[in-house]
């Protein structure tokens, strides 16, 4: 990993584009259920960080490609680490919805 890659922050817009172009990928929003209801990226599944151990109920295949986001990127970074420790091998932190420019769904 080069120095530039080390300092590069995730880009949620690029991450969503990758998700859309990756067959079978899962988009995971690790914010609270209330935050999720207030606005989330279409197609995402809400698995709050505090309940990330429940991911196995939603995605059994630990080789599945996961794209994880939160509000700013801090919780998604924590979630990626925990998911990797749970055995998920293809987990991507795409940052925070605060920087997202696409369509948002509300419930």
Domain ranges in the chain are: 9-99
CATH entry 1.25.10.10 includes domain 9-99: no
* pTM reported for the whole predicted model: 0.92
> Active site includes 20?
no
Judge whether residue 37 has pLDDT over 70: yes
Which residues lie across from 67 on neighbouring strands? 27, 92
Judge whether residue 5 has pLDDT over 50: no
Q: What is the pLDDT of residue 39?
A: 98
DSSP 24: T
Q: Which of 70, 79, 83, 97 is catalytic?
A: 70
Of 90, 73, 63, 62, which is closest to residue 8 (Cα–Cα)?
73
């Amino acid at each position: 990993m080069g120095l530039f890659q080390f300092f590069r922050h995730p880009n949620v817009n690029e991450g969503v584009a990758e998700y859309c172009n990756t067959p079978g990928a899962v988009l995971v929003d690790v914010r609270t259920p209330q935050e999720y209801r207030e606005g989330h990226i279409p197609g995402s599944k809400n698995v709050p960080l505090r309940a990330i151990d429940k991911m196995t109920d939603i995605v059994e295949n630990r080789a599945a490609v996961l794209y994880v986001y939160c509000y700013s990127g801090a919780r998604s970074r924590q979630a990626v680490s925990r998911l990797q420790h749970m055995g998920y091998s293809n987990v991507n932190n795409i940052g925070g919805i605060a920087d997202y420019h696409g369509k948002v769904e509300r419930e």
